[in-house]
Amino acid sequence: MVVTVDIIIYKGFKALEAVGSLSVFTYANIHLKRRGLAGRYDVKLAAPRRGEILSDTGVSLKAEKSLNTLSLPHTAIIVGAWQIEQAIGDAPEIVQWVESTAGRMARTAALCSGAFFLAAAGLLDGKRATTHWAVADALKEKYPGVRVDADCIFIREGSIWTSAGVTAGIDLALALVEEDFGQDVALDVARDLVVYLKRPGGQSQFSSHLVSQATHDPGIRDVQDWILANIQNDLCASDMAERLSMSVRSFNRSFKRETGTTPSNFLTRARVEAARRMLEEGDLPAKTVAAESGFKTYEAMRKAFRQALGITPLTYRERFGAGHGRD
């Protein structure tokens, strides 16, 4: 099976989104060949007109294909731009192309602010969609018919896919690989790129630990998802075991066998990830961050940070936060 993919770029596009997606499919081809599996991706960069296209970084990529309605790919991916309104004004052909090809491709995806192109073409009317958190309100205001969920990493609505900002495009591309060729190939690619295969949390929340994705056991995966959705609650092994109608001892053994870590360690790491995101993106007091990420005390969070990251929460905020919090 050959899956054709067109990554659509235009003046001012976000280079990381285009190259990130391209890297996912390129590495997928490497692993498909290594595993002796039939199938590959045929990926092309497309634009309103062929030629060198200047990105947001000042680096140009060459579009080898111009948009047309005759030679359609299996999957089209429209990347975002820093100045998305200007980009749409400069490239109205993309909106027209989306309108004319609606429903004729197996998948249409938009990364980051690229969702504005789909919304302008009417493809997102009545549908859930996500975009970069910084332009989520603008998307809601300009296109009230779109059900914007600003916290999701990516959303699939039938054949329409949208992702959150920038690196979330890699998450979406990995999900496409998993759908096309299975979890093993997608996990191979995630490991190569040193990224998470799947981030059940949202833009403002957290990402699951990569090693936790290796399990093929649907029961354990369900428990993992449940843990990630309820980290702020007082969870214990008996609650987790009960979901699978297992004894605590059997559950702990199965979880460790499938994931390589204990339920307790997985929960702690998930809480650290949640707290890390809050410290990066907000200015909540550290004690509030601890409570909202499930730690009983700030000292418990501090200890977990030291063990997982080698630094304290306050030092982490100083290095990676958008600004100093009220700590």
| Among the listed residues 277, 272, 280, the one whose alpha carbon sits nearest the alpha carbon of residue 317 | 280
The whole-number pLDDT of residue 215 equals: 65
Q: What is the pLDDT of residues 285-327, one digit of tens each?
A: 999 999 999 999 999 999 999 887 778 899 888 876 655 444 4
The Cα 173–Cα 156 span in angstroms is 12
Q: What is the pLDDT of residues 133-173, one digit of tens each?
A: 889 889 999 999 999 988 788 999 999 999 988 888 999 99
Exposure pattern of 53-78 as b/e (b: 16+ CB <10 Å)? bebbeeeebebeeebeeeebbbbbbb
> Is this model's pTM higher than 0.85 or not?
no
**What percent of the residues of the chain are helix, what percent strand, and what percent coil, each to the nearest 5?**
50, 15, 35
User: What domains can be seen in the chain, in order of their start residue?
Assistant: 2-181 (3.40.50.880), 204-327 (1.10.10.60)
